[in-house]
A and B are shown apart, each in its own frame.
Chain A
Amino acid sequence: MNLQNIPIKIEDVEQYSIGNLRALLSEIAAHLERLARDGNIASIDLNSLPFAPGEYEQLRLLLGQGEATAHIEALGPSDITETRYPGVWWVTHYNVEGDIIADSIEITTIPEILSSQPEDIRMGLELIKEQLNDEVMP
């Protein structure tokens, strides 16, 4: 069999399950309860979980998409999506080449990365002041 003839088997996403999803969903539920009751935030790192082939995609289908989506461009793109369960956010950071460098589920009112950082605010303030001092501005 030469290289060209090796058959490619496309797997059905539903095919494999090693029980990760149920466990994960239970963990998310527990964190969400704590968020609702005490306001405690939590984060689950998806990179460290051993997913069977197809389970990652099944998780995406399971959590779905909610009302809010955000996109950041800071040394590479980052996608932040609220899932169909409010308070459960899926945060994925990519580097400039599109590799995933962090992938997590955050149980919070709003992921920290979306907030403007104090240092950046200070830098922006200086830029605005410069702009105002600029004589050419109308």
Chain B
Amino acid sequence: MNEHDTLGDRLAQQGISRRAFLKFCAALATMMALPPGAAQAFAETLAKAKRPSVIWLSFQECTGCTESLTRSHTPTLENLIFDMISLDYHHTLQAASGFGAEKSREDAMKEFYGKYLLLVDGSIPLKDDGIYSTIAGRTNLDLLQKAAKGAAAIIAVGSCASFGGLPNAKPNPTGAVAVSDIIKDKPIINISGCPPIPAVITGVLAHYLTFCELPALDELGRPTAFYGETIHDRCYRRPFYEQGKFAKTFDDEGARNGWCLFELGCKGPTTHNACATTKWNGGTSFPIESGHGCLGCSEPHFWDAGSFYTPLSAPSASVSTVAIGAAAAGAAAAVAISALDRAKKRRAQQGHEKLTVKDL
């Protein structure tokens, strides 16, 4: 297979009709909220794109992001995208391993220097010179810095690579940080989520392949096509929120009637993601539809933002002990100062002096 084949050539060689490709582009275009009619233009441009080399580096991660992406073995939206790219290195998906695999990664990086796309999942530990995660004896930090040098752009897949994720949660024993905390001189797209919706990953890849530029990003580096709205704004249970109908516990009458899950800790109002519209497992459902509040997994530090089951209006730390302590302290202070004041009063009385409130 000629490395200089366009995507259209590859599709034709695989016996995939242009109509099938158009269907796939229609799906991608609606997902990215492109206007109708754009699917056609999308398809034409995408078909002419050359297959870029893609290096996928996995660092301190749980492999959930790769799992999210590769849920089937027959041609689906996601697999088609992966067919389009030349995935030159992915240590979970590739058959090769060991020094041979490392060498072909380095060869790909050299051959496509300045042009390859770098995908990263997992956070990068920095503590103790980054020894807490190494591949072939080299630290993640070292691998990232070397790979980033020749990359055209970097896509941080998942909340770990985007913001630090679970390893970064208190007390962060490995000193885990995000890709954007280390690489400052390359364009970075953050596709956050724990894991991200697979269609979002492929949508961003398709956008990059088609237009050869980054999509519009929000202030956290996430593509606004998918992260521009909060879950709350697209949630089908929103009318119940507005009417004040809340489920109080799991499986109570309100929960069975599909009422709003705000009081069960749903973080939908402060979470930006496409779960309420694009949904999961091919549009089957999403956490709220299945009866559990949103965890806020596409936002930074969501592991440290208080319990998943404490509502947004409630405190995330204990207030009652503080209050009891404060009441006791206040009472003690009052008793102490009143004793002093009474002594003053007694002395004034004995000395036949006038005493006003201001003296106390």
CB < 8 Å A-B pair total:
111
Residue contact A75 to B23, C-beta cutoff 8 Å = yes
A77 to chain B, nearest CB (A): 10
Q: Does B258 contact A (CB under 8 A)?
A: yes
A96 close to chain B: CB less than 8 A: yes
For residue B287, CB closer than 8 A to chain A, the reply is no
The interface residues of chain B lying within 8 Å CB-to-CB of A106 are 36
B16 at the interface (CB under 8 A from A): yes
Q: How far apart are the CA atoms of A54 and B72 in the complex, in Å?
A: 29
From the candidates A43, A103, A112, name the one contacting B22 in the complex (CB within 8 A).
Answer: A112
Range, interface on chain B: 35 or more
Q: Are A117 and B238 in contact (CB-based, < 8 A)?
A: no
- From A50, A97, A103, A123, B74 is in contact (CB under 8 Å) with A97
Q: Say how far B169's CB is from chain A's closest CB, in angstroms.
A: 31
Interface-side segment among B88-96, B278-286, B301-309, B312-320: B278-286
Residue A9 interfacial (CB < 8 Å): yes
Give chain A residues whose Cβ lies under 8 Å from the Cβ of B236: 18, 50-53
A117 and B235 in contact (CB under 8 A), knowing A42-B36, A47-B31, A100-B282?
Answer: no
Closest chain B residue to A16, Cβ basis: B258
For A, the interface residue count at a CB cutoff of 8 angstroms equals 39
A112 near B76 (CB under 8 angstroms)?
no
Question: What are the residues of chain A within 8 A of B77 when measuring CB–CB?
Answer: 95, 101
Task: Check: A132 CB closer than 8 A to any chain B CB.
Answer: no
Return the contact of B282 from the options A48, A101, A104, A118 (Cβ within 8 A): A101
Interface residues of A in 92-134 (CB under 8 A from B): 93, 95-97, 99-104, 106, 112-113, 116-120, 123
Contacting pair A47 B30 (CB below 8 A): yes
Considering only CB atoms, which chain B residue lies closest to A108 in the complex? B36
Check: A72 CB closer than 8 A to any chain B CB: yes
Contact B36 A120 (CB under 8 A): no
CB distance from B283 to the nearest CB of A (A): 5
Knowing A75-B20, A93-B26, A120-B18, the reply to whether A99 touches B282 (Cβ < 8 A) is yes
Q: Mark B114-138, 1 if CB is under 8 A from A, else 0.
A: 0000000000000000000000000
- Judge whether A63 is part of the interface by a CB distance below 8 angstroms: no
A12-B8 Cα distance, complex, nearest whole Å: 47
Q: Which of B16, B33, B74 has the most CB of A within 10 A?
A: B74
B199 to chain A, nearest CB (A): 8
The reply to whether the CB of A45 lies closer than 8 angstroms to some CB of chain B is yes
Chain A nearest CB from B272 CB (Å) reads 15
B208 at the interface (CB under 8 A from A): no
Min CB distance B255 to A, Å, is 12
Interface residues of B in 1-52 (CB under 8 A from A): 8, 12, 16-20, 22-24, 26-27, 30-31, 33, 36-37, 39-40, 47
* Complex contact B19–A74 (CB within 8 A): yes
Decide: B19 and A116 in contact? CB cutoff 8 A: yes
A78 CA / B277 CA spacing, docked (Å):
21
Nearest CB on A from B242, distance (A): 10
B354 beta carbon closer than 8 Å to chain A = no
B75 engages A120 (CB within 8 Å):
no
A52, B36: Cα distance in complex, Å: 25
Q: Least Cβ distance of B83 to chain A in Å?
A: 11
Q: List 24 A-B contacts (CB under 8 A).
A: A41-B37, A43-B30, A47-B30, A47-B279, A48-B30, A48-B234, A50-B235, A51-B236, A52-B258, A74-B19, A74-B23, A75-B16, A76-B75, A100-B283, A101-B77, A101-B283, A102-B23, A106-B36, A113-B19, A113-B22, A113-B26, A120-B17, A120-B18, A120-B19
Nearest 3 A-B pairs (CB), nearest first?
A: A99-B282, A43-B36, A74-B20
